[in-house]
Chains A and B, each alone.
Chain A
Amino acid sequence: MTLLDVGNLWVKFPTRQGMFEAVRGVSFSLKKERLGIVGESGSGKSMTGRAILRLIRKPGIVEADRIALEGTDLMRLTEIQMRQVRGEQISMVMQDPKFSLNPVMTIGAQIMEAYLLHAKASRSEARAKAVEMLEAVSIRDPERVMRAYPHEMSGGMGQRIMIAMMLIPNPQILIADEPTSALDVSVQRQVLDIMDRLVTDRGMGLIFISHDLNLVAEFCDRVLIMYAGRIVEVCDADKLHAAQHPYTRGLLNSLPRLDQPRARLEVLQRDAAWAEAPSVSGRV
């Protein structure tokens, strides 16, 4: 069943040198799956994630034939209706938890607030729910964490708390924009495992935005590879290492590998035709 269907999405920014097109006619759909979007900085991957939630700040412009969430076209909703969608139906986890949590509120208060915003419940119910969520993201001492402030948390803890907060209203879709790039390798894995478990258990759709091909190959079901605002290739994640497009191949080959020592790394030779080729559809 298709959760989200995006058709011909454009994100544009007016500049002095004319219109800058960050995303250029991208189409894809999302089922109850883990969909990876990979690309380099400036490829439009983050803008795609934000555009779905209509979080592009002015003077940026979002245009799309449709962004349908279970049949409702998000492009037609008012800003007030959109606020209902954000959080309740689609949640987003950003790269750095430090910037997403309010530094002067305790973590407990923030999670409870997130819950109370979307559900009619008493404070004690909200509290119980918050503790339950913290346990769900494998935080050992939830009562203590509830009373703590964000600066007392490590990066990995902070990101787990963000995930807990985002999952409280039981959204159908989670958009994770580089959720682990600020974390150490060992912590990265824990956070991904937790996210994976929650998403699978709840039957959610996940859009996982990352620059890390290996991570996406390992963690997702399906991958969209973006270049210059377009999708250049769509493939199953387990077949990513056998990808066909020269851009994807170039990215894979430019990574140093411990098992294959080389004197020099392969350098990606960009081809102007890649940017001009029409966007590949990521619809299933």
Chain B
Amino acid sequence: MLDITDLNVWFGQGRDRVDAVKAASLAVEQGESFGLVGESGSGKSTILRAITGLAPDWSGRITVDGTDLGRRRDRAFYKSVQMVFQDPYASLHPRHSVDQVLSETLHLHGLGEIDRRVAKLLDDVGLGPRFRFRYPHQLSGGQRQRVAIARALAGEPRLLLLDEPTSALDVSVQAEILNLLTDLRAERGLTYLMVSHDLPVVGHMCERLAVMKDGEIVEVMEVAALRRMEARHPYAQSLLQASVAG
């Protein structure tokens, strides 16, 4: 589904150049859920931004569903790959109602029957029709994140990039959102690439994961190995220790 080979991403030029991702390679199978873990600044979110084209300066090869990605992404790409952002308070336009957000997205994907589809999307993410005409400030964090997920699902993508989708939420809401994501994946046969700093969350959601440090992938492992605490790289081990101590 997704193949990344020797990906480098940098910001700025010349002396100000910062290499956020260095020679990263990973492959995500169709239908798989793959985790990217690391601390802040390790470059895990930057990989997602490079895939979506939000980080313009990159080199290497990114292949989605067999097609190599160039500098520009076309409509077809955005129909098959979508992203859910970390902070649901920042990812919804403050002046647009839920209805506006979803209708516009459906319109951009060239889909018809917008009215029916909006109602269906809201239903799919567990928000009833009551929420349709609300503005973001009338929604809780979890409800906002559901709207953001509905928006990402509008074009019926096959690969969903999840950028710490629950780190800004309370644990009880986190459980609801993670369950929703699990269900959606089963229903729609989605492939997930999930970024998180929280190892238990990745352990719950994913089958495999990559550990990142300073822009490099230091280890790729099965979640089963993670549960057995069998990390080879010393950094991955220390991360694991810190997460389990609690």
Contacts and interface: CB of A to CB of B under 8 A. Distances in A.
Q: Would A and B touch once assembled, by the CB under 8 A criterion?
A: yes
Interface of A: 40-41, 155, 184-186, 188-189, 211-215, 217-218, 250-251, 254-259, 261-268
Interface of B: 39-40, 141, 170-176, 178-179, 182, 197, 199-201, 203-205, 226-227, 238-239, 242-246
Q: Is the interface of B mostly helix, strand, loop or mixed?
A: helix
The 10 closest A-B pairs by CB, nearest first: A256-B204, A214-B246, A254-B175, A268-B172, A265-B175, A40-B170, A184-B39, A185-B242, A256-B200, A258-B203
A240 B242 CA distance: 20
A37 to B, nearest CB: 15
B227 to A, nearest CB: 5
B243 A213 contact: no
A267 B242 contact: no
A263 B178 CA distance: 11
Contacts of B245: 189, 218
23 contacts: A40-B172, A41-B141, A185-B39, A185-B239, A186-B238, A186-B242, A214-B246, A217-B246, A218-B245, A250-B172, A254-B172, A256-B175, A256-B200, A258-B199, A258-B200, A259-B227, A259-B244, A261-B203, A261-B204, A264-B179, A267-B172, A267-B179, A268-B172
With most chain B CB atoms within 10 A of its CB, the pick from A184, A258, A261 is: A258
Q: For the complex, would chain A's binding face be called helix, strand, loop or mixed by DSSP majority?
A: loop
A208 to B, nearest CB: 14
B175 A185 contact: no
Contacts of B238: 186
Given A186-B238, A218-B245, A265-B178, A211 B204 contact: no
Nearest to A252: B171
A211 B170 contact: yes
A257 B223 CA distance: 12
A41 B179 contact: no
A175 B179 CA distance: 35
A204 B159 CA distance: 52
B36 to A, nearest CB: 15
B243 A185 contact: yes
Choose among A256, A264, A266 the residue with the greatest number of B CB atoms under 10 Å from its CB: A256
A185 B167 CA distance: 13
Nearest to B205: A256
A184 B239 CA distance: 10
A40 B168 CA distance: 12
